[in-house]
Structure 1
Amino acid sequence: MSSILMKSTRNKVHRFLKFVFLFALFLGIYKFYTVYLDDLREESADEDDLQTVFLAENKVEVYKKWLNCAKWSLMIIEDPVQFWTQFTKITQKCDEEAEIDKLGLITLKNKDEDKIAILPRNNDEKHTFITLGIGRDITGEQRWKRKMGKLGKEVDFYGADPMTEVNEDLYPQIGKYFPFAVAKNPGYATASVLKNRQYVNQSVVHVDINYFIEKLLRINKIDNLWMDAEGAEYDLFEIFEKNGSFAKKGIEVCQINIEVHLSETGPNHLNYEKFMKFVKMLIREEQFAVFKTEEVIHMRMYMFNFASTTVSLVDSAGFTPTKYELTLTTEFGEENTFTGNVKIHVNVTGSVKEFDLKVSKDLNVERVAFFQASSIIRGGPNTLGRVILDIVKKGDSIHVPLDEEITSESIKELGYIEVDYKGKVGEKGAKKGLFLFNSSDYETNLKNGNAIHLFPILEDVAAPLTLSVLTPWRAGVETTLKAGEHESVTESGLISNNFNSGNEKIKISDLYFKINAPTPLILD
């Protein structure tokens, strides 16, 4: 009898252990699968977000439309309570009318909310990010860091929160952590802080925000400011005024995610009034716009400084690409080098005296020229061209000054930028520009900002495109473009493999091709 019981017990234990093993295996596979899917989603989101840096719409017009809507819809409301309750509905309507998506807004998801941002289009390689009120969550900051890294930009993170639990271990993963609250005035005062998963009032040390920025951080430019000050934000509204304390000290802030809180115990009449005055001040001073508002008891909103120099966004005049002519010569020598020629045909808004080309610092630009024609002679454009000598190289950019203004009239018949350059094919595994995908053949990856590693560009906007790849005989070119007439280049002994997009407009970043090394000639 006892042996039967022992056997039965052993069977139950085995079944239990088997169940535990299978359950643990299932959990492991499920976790791996969900992480894998999350990685794929993040990679796809990054690819879409990184393309926003090439948007070329007129951003001034977007702001003007938003400002006009805000003036007519918000400035007429006099009652502070009505202003608060109607604010989200009205600003969402203004967002739609202004088509703010043309600005390239991206979403950075935190664990319980969405933050909004615009990826920078300037040439600064270092950017500053400040979090006031960490709240045990740096998911959004990590996403921003990853996207900026893919643009080749570094971010200095600074975070302040008086609650050290979790935050003191969390924020140093991305930047420098400060264990205090940041407010308008220094001192020891009551603040609403997150403790045991709920907000409670507690006396904490407060540091003056101007002292924090100017003396502790020693910076005068804030690219991103995320502010969740749990009520202290009302006294900080003044830093966004044209004559506020930031302006007087020369501190510039570009984009802000801010939460404006109501008192849970009430009354809130004074807070409603402060909020209305703040927003009306922003509209009246025509510096900040307020986008993507959301009311969740408190008010979440994204502010962008259209007067800021930290993000190249307001561009009332400039070139817009209308056609690309791309030529690449690869001879498959021991050095694996290539030479390139790019012609970017353009239209112009306003008048242009200078422009910037986006081009990797790894490419050796040998010549930049501009060709124009305002009239026809003998059936063709009366073209005048000039080489620009005073170009200025800085990072992944070239500043090009022109000796005279270019207007729509001066390029009425023809206008294009021409660039000659040389480069080196990337090693196997480089995965950007033109690179080896085996021991001898080349492949391209121009997405996620990688176009500038192979072709100089103005803005990555869609336009008709031609591609000519000059190779030795018996080399091959594979691409998704339509094949044109291939032709021999007599003086060089090469063949020009010609392709085009036909009537379709495509971005350079969407271009893909492979260049197969020449195959040996075998004679029977």
Structure 2
Amino acid sequence: MVSYQLLNNDFSTNTEKFKEFYRYRKSVFYYSAIIIVLIFLSINFLSYNPEDEELSSSSEHNYGEHPRNIIAEQESGQKLPFTTTPSPPLIPYKYDELPPCDLTTDSPKPLHNAEAIVNEFFKCASMILLRFSMNPQGMLFNWPYTIYVCDEEDLTSGIPLRSFDNGQKQYWAVLPNCQEKTTLVTLGANENTKSEEELKDLLKDFATIGTDPFHERINAYEKFNQVALSTDNNKLLMTDSNDKYADKNYVATINQHTFFNETVGVKKIDMLWINPNAGNFEYEKYLNKDGEFEKMGVKVCQVNIEITKNDAEKWSKLITPLVQEKRFIFMRPMATEGGELTRTYLLNVADPECVRKYLQ
């Protein structure tokens, strides 16, 4: 019997080597394929634009094409769900037992370390928002599904944030640690004032200023104007659900700078609530460092803001500098189904008076 050899090497040995080499090439191929698929999915995720999927229905309520349009909140048919982020255990709040406010110096025994909160929060938030740096629409759409994890950081989760919901909207607030007049300004108020009434019951010295273009008077507000805010004094077109370009539906407006400088007329707004029926308020130009509020000498300690999906560019122009400036931390994000409305809470952690009143 002849024993065949291949190039003086045992055939069985070469066969085993070939099988091993084949397995190696096969594993390299699989790993390469997996990496390519992951890269492809990442690119698609980062470039995802929720407007693309809803383009067919955008003709029904496409208010972005006409930024001077304003829709009545009661006509929008949107209700925000309640957040699932738990609040820390809260002790009973007794305003009458608090000391008078002295906001000129830091407390010797602060309740919260604002600097440590800032470092912890933005270490979390910066990494999350980096992926949306060139994608404003993606940032807004994914906001409630990503940034909420920063609420759960050790120091951030300890902030005594209280919920004030009225069954339709959920507002958030940190209550003051000392006695001083607290001012609430609401842009786009509503007849449902359960949240405002609860705050008024807790804070004995509580001033309220409100606007809404669709109500002549809301009794929860001491000062109230039936106007929407605008960049000028021209009227705003109210979008009608049946005829969104109806010429007859206009609402009165007030210049945003005039409103805050003269009508509000205070140098510290403790709580600012911004709703879509506020009008064309350019919050991105007012809340940032060196913005309009700072030029007027006005400080804002807390903000509850509701953003429509058409305001992604404005939202990005606000949030991107805030991350760099580290002036506000943003908490309790939520959104309606489909992302029509997004809501979040901002707390000023840079202004000494705000920090002393609410965190120290």
Instruction: Select which of 292, 317, 320 maps to 1:245.
Output: 292
Higher relative contact order (CA 8 A, sep 6+): 2
Going from structure 1 to structure 2, the CA distance change for 1:85 and 1:49 (only over 3 Å counts) comes to: farther
CA distance in 2, matches of 1:205, 1:113: 25
What runs of 5+ residues in structure 2 fail to find an aligned partner? 1-88, 99-108
CA distance in 2, matches of 1:215, 1:250: 13
Q: Give the C-alpha shift of residue 215 in structure 1.
A: 1.4
Going from structure 1 to structure 2, the CA distance change for 1:230 and 1:172 (only over 3 Å counts) comes to: closer
CA distance in 1, matches of 2:273, 2:164: 12
**1:162 aligns to 2:213 (yes or no):** yes
Instruction: Select which of 319, 332, 343 maps to 1:292.
Output: 332
Paired AA for residue 134 in structure 1: A
Matches within 5 A, 1:221-236: 221-230=268-277, 232=279, 235-236=282-283
CA distance in 2, matches of 1:120, 1:315: 5
Q: Give the C-alpha shift of residue 252 in structure 1.
A: 0.9
- The match for 2:34 is none
Going from structure 1 to structure 2, the CA distance change for 1:313 and 1:75 (only over 3 Å counts) comes to: farther
CA distance in 2, matches of 1:186, 1:226: 22
Q: Give the C-alpha shift of residue 312 in structure 1.
A: 3.7
Paired AA for residue 234 in structure 2: G
**1:115 aligns to 2:171 (yes or no):** yes
**1:74 aligns to 2:74 (yes or no):** no
CA distance in 1, matches of 2:117, 2:124: 11
CA distance in 1, matches of 2:154, 2:232: 37
Q: Give the C-alpha shift of residue 251 in structure 1.
A: 1.0
Going from structure 1 to structure 2, the CA distance change for 1:81 and 1:217 (only over 3 Å counts) comes to: closer
Matches within 5 A, 1:2-151: 48-50=92-94, 56-77=111-132, 78-123=134-179, 125-149=180-204
Q: Give the C-alpha shift of residue 193 in structure 1.
A: 8.9
Going from structure 1 to structure 2, the CA distance change for 1:212 and 1:180 (only over 3 Å counts) comes to: same
CA distance in 1, matches of 2:240, 2:297: 31
Matches within 5 A, 1:249-328: 249-262=296-309, 268=310, 271-296=311-336, 297-313=340-356
CA distance in 2, matches of 1:309, 1:191: 40
Contact 2:176 2:358 in 1 (8 A): no
Q: Give the C-alpha shift of residue 85 in structure 1.
A: 2.5
Q: Give the C-alpha shift of residue 235 in structure 1.
A: 2.6
Going from structure 1 to structure 2, the CA distance change for 1:207 and 1:251 (only over 3 Å counts) comes to: same
CA distance in 1, matches of 2:289, 2:349: 12
CA distance in 2, matches of 1:280, 1:140: 30
CA distance in 2, matches of 1:315, 1:189: 37
Contact 2:212 2:226 in 1 (8 A): yes
Identity of aligned residues (%): 22
Paired AA for residue 301 in structure 1: T
Going from structure 1 to structure 2, the CA distance change for 1:128 and 1:179 (only over 3 Å counts) comes to: same
Contact 1:115 1:257 in 2 (8 A): yes
Q: Give the C-alpha shift of residue 204 in structure 1.
A: 1.0
1:135 aligned counterpart, secondary structure: coil
Going from structure 1 to structure 2, the CA distance change for 1:218 and 1:273 (only over 3 Å counts) comes to: closer
Paired AA for residue 157 in structure 1: T
Matches within 5 A, 1:198-213: 202-213=249-260
CA distance in 1, matches of 2:220, 2:328: 31
CA distance in 1, matches of 2:355, 2:233: 35
Instruction: Select which of 224, 227, 230 maps to 1:183.
Output: 230
Paired AA for residue 329 in structure 2: A
- The match for 1:361 is none
Going from structure 1 to structure 2, the CA distance change for 1:134 and 1:291 (only over 3 Å counts) comes to: same
Q: Give the C-alpha shift of residue 303 in structure 1.
A: 0.7
What runs of 5+ residues in structure 1 fail to find an aligned partner? 1-44, 195-199, 263-267, 317-458, 460-524
1:289 aligned counterpart, secondary structure: strand
TM-score normalised to structure 2 length: 0.62
Contact 2:188 2:210 in 1 (8 A): yes
CA distance in 2, matches of 1:233, 1:89: 27
Per residue, is there more helix in 1 or in 2? 2
Going from structure 1 to structure 2, the CA distance change for 1:67 and 1:212 (only over 3 Å counts) comes to: same
- The match for 1:476 is none
Going from structure 1 to structure 2, the CA distance change for 1:287 and 1:314 (only over 3 Å counts) comes to: farther
Going from structure 1 to structure 2, the CA distance change for 1:314 and 1:58 (only over 3 Å counts) comes to: farther
Q: Give the C-alpha shift of residue 300 in structure 1.
A: 0.4
Matches within 5 A, 1:115-514: 115-123=171-179, 125-149=180-204, 154-164=205-215, 168=217, 171-191=218-238, 202-230=249-277, 232=279, 235-262=282-309, 268=310, 271-296=311-336, 297-313=340-356
